[in-house]
Amino acid sequence: MSDPSAGLRNLADVWSECVRRFPRKAALRAPDLELSYAEADARAWALAEALRSAHRLVPGARLAIFMQNRPEFFLAYWAAHLAGAVVAAISPRLGRREAGYVVRTCGAEILLADGSAPAPVAGSAVRSVLGLDEVRAMVSRNASGPAPAHPGTGPDDLAVLAHTSGTTGEPKIAEVTHGNLLFNLKLAIYAHSLRHEDVVLVGVPMFHCTPLYSLMPAAAYLGATLVIATDSSAAAQASAGQAAGATVWFGVPTLFHGLAAAPEEVTGRLAGMRLLAYAGSPMRPETIRRLRARWPHLALHNFFGLTETISMTHVLPSCDALERADSVGKALPEVYVRIAGAGGAELPRGEVGELCFHRRNVIRGYWGKPGLLDKSFDGDWFRTGDLALEDPDGYLYLQGRSKDMIIVAGENVYAAEVEGVLARCPGVADVAVVGVRAEGVRASLGELVKAVVVRAPGAELGELDVKRFANGELASYKVPHIVEFRDALPRNATGKVIKDQLR
């Protein structure tokens, strides 16, 4: 940023200002690698220059990153912004057909991949596919000198294209601007009290909106250090975090459930860690108790956001982690929320309705699908399709997708409520609830409640055990009519349960 009076206009400004202020501070730690901000800047500029000169990476071009968690992802992310390009992050967990669809739809001209490239790339706009060895060769070159960030890159220009989960069809691609990210990084800092001294362990895939929208921008804004976990297991991440001096660990509840269940000699003391932050689903109360018993110094934060809402919108502080374990917390500052009834009118607190956000908290559209996002707006309010309620104190409780509301003999049953109860049942490791059509002698009920349960290792749990537990916690019409046991729940690339495969 050459003119301080202009303020931060884009992520390149955020990065460059951090490099200017903290050149010797550690920007990145990974197995067998540590880079200061000055060193990471030199490598990111070298990659940006090589992509510009040899592969025509021009301002506004889409650079697709199809990689697992690794330092090259981090460098490619910042190289794209320094070149004025747009990051199109693609989950390497997608099937090749799905990944190919995202590549074609986002119009990526250059694809960086650490494994097999998505298929089919043919018929797409991609003109260069570069493997990991080529990327590593580029970042090791000496750049001839940093060129200034594209002067036309402003808050309203695209910064990131992020695909949605695609649980019910082809993924949609969210258009995220620099202004969106400048807003969100401050929410992330506020939500988790992040600071310059923090060493943040990224325990979720880097294509997720949390690293893309929040963690990488917020770390650069503060001059904090990111630790990239290259292994998905809790024990490996705990070891990597301790070795790197991590103070904050971002993950998902299943990761921290594995942490709580692992032997202490494997996980270590986590002495320098101050916070575990998780999102994606509620944390089981038993897991919270185990974590607190072993590491009483750790704070626990549940947080919530959507790809369409520029990531974080709510956070549940540690003091409420156990007492309100099924809540995602309160709305963050400048996040405007309403719970709407069938006609769109705002409902009183305590009533279940559709979760809506004001358009200022929402992305500007879906790439390649003009007008599609507008169909989800009611005036200035974005209808998420999620059912939720706010209690009198402003805590938000998700009740599942609107299509997950099950109507049993005229009574509304919310899948998330039943899932929350069954998650507390002894012997249950994982659970999902869906509605299925009632037939035969029960046809008059309309729908039945079906629970799909994954047993905990060694648990001797039967259908009657699940029903008895639920009967003590739920109204009779909410107790599952059908209980099915599976070895695992089907999940998509971002970890969400694919409920269509459970019905």
Written as tens digits, the pLDDT of the chain (503 aa) is: 556 656 899 999 999 999 999 999 999 999 889 999 999 999 999 999 999 999 999 999 999 999 999 999 999 999 999 999 999 998 887 766 778 888 888 999 999 999 876 655 767 889 999 999 999 999 988 766 555 566 678 999 999 999 876 544 567 899 999 999 999 999 999 999 999 999 999 999 999 999 999 999 999 999 999 999 999 899 999 999 999 999 999 998 889 988 998 888 888 889 899 999 999 777 888 899 999 999 999 999 999 999 899 889 999 999 999 999 989 999 999 999 999 998 889 999 999 999 999 999 999 999 989 999 999 999 999 999 889 999 999 999 988 777 777 888 777 788 888 998 999 999 999 999 999 988 888 877 888 999 999 999 999 999 999 999 999 888 888 999 999 999 999 987 667 788 889 98
Q: Which tokens in the block code for residue 15?
A: 């990065």
Token pair recorded at residue 159: 């910064």
Pairing status of strand 62-66 against strand 26-30: unpaired
Verify that 263 and 198 share a domain, yes or no: yes
| CATH number, domain containing residue 388 | 2.30.38.10
Same domain, 306 and 359: no
Whether residue 304 is found in the same domain as residue 340: no
Backbone angles phi, psi at 114, to 5 degrees: -100, 10
Identify whether the C-beta of residue 322 lies closer than 8 Å to the C-beta of residue 297: no
The domain boundary, picked from 335, 356, 376, lies at: 335
Whether residues 224 and 186 share a domain: the answer is yes
Q: Are residues 127 and 240 in the same domain?
A: yes
| Nearest CA-CA partner of 222 in 185, 191, 192 | 185
> Are 110 and 125 contacting, i.e. CB atoms less than 8 angstroms apart?
no
Q: Which of 382, 402, 422 is the last residue of a domain?
A: 402
* Best CA proximity match to 385, nearest among 365, 405, 403, 362: 403
Amino acid letter, residue 245? G
DSSP annotation string for 265-317: HHH---TT--EEEE-SSPPPHHHHHHHHHH-TT-EEEEEEEEGGGTEEEEEE-
Cβ contacts of 145 within 8 Å, gap of 6 or more: none
**Rounded Cα gap, residues 153 and 81, in angstroms:** 9
Same domain, 169 and 83: yes
CA–CA gap between residue 357 and residue 360 (Å, rounded): 8
List the structure tokens of 297: 């110094």
CATH of the domain at 467: 3.30.300.30
- As a whole number of angstroms, the distance between CA 231 and CA 103 comes to 25
Measured distance CA(171)–CA(3) in Å, rounded: 40
Cβ burial 365-378 (10 Å sphere, 16+ → b, else e): bbbeeeeebeeeee
**Residues in contact with 275: Cβ distance below 8 Å, sequence separation at least 6, in sequence order:** 192, 193, 247, 248, 249, 298, 299, 300, 301, 318
Tokens read off for 306: 């959507």
> Strands 405-408 and 411-414: what pairing?
antiparallel
pLDDT computed for residue 412 by the predictor: 79
Residues 372, 441 within the same domain: no
The phi and psi torsions of 363 (rounded to 5 degrees) equal -60, 165
**Residue 396 to residues 349, 391, 393, 445: CA-CA distances in angstroms?**
10, 7, 9, 30
Question: SS3 for 451?
Answer: strand
Condensed to tens digits (0 to 9), the pLDDT of residues 245-279 reads 999 999 988 899 889 988 888 888 898 999 999 99
Identify whether residues 345 and 273 lie together within a single domain: no
Where does 193-334 have alpha helices with state H? 209, 216-222, 234-244, 253-261, 264-267, 285-294
Claim to verify: residue 17 and residue 79 sit in the same structural domain = yes
**Site of tokens 């007492």:** 323
Let me know whether 230 and 155 are in one domain. yes
Contact 28, 9 (CB under 8 A): no
| Residue 381 three-state SS | strand
Total-model pTM: 0.84
CATH code of residue 286: 3.40.50.12780
- 289 and 196: one domain? yes
Q: Is 97 helix (H, G, I), strand (E, B) or coil?
A: helix
Q: Give me the number of domains the chain comprises.
A: 3
Distance CA 400, CA 299 (A): 27
8 A C-beta contact, residue 256 and residue 291: yes
Domain-terminating residue out of 349, 378, 402: 402
C-alpha gyration radius of the chain: 23
State the residue range of the domain holding 282. Answer: 4-335
DSSP string, 336-372: -EEEE-TTSPBPPTTS-EEEEEEGGGS-S-BTT-TTT
Give the position of tokens 């706010």.
390
Rounded CA-CA distance 114/108 in Å is 16
pLDDT (tens digit, 9 = 90+) per residue, 184-198?
999 999 999 999 999
Same-domain status, 375 and 491:
no
In the three-class reduction of DSSP (H, G, I as helix; E, B as strand; rest coil), residue 79 is classed as helix
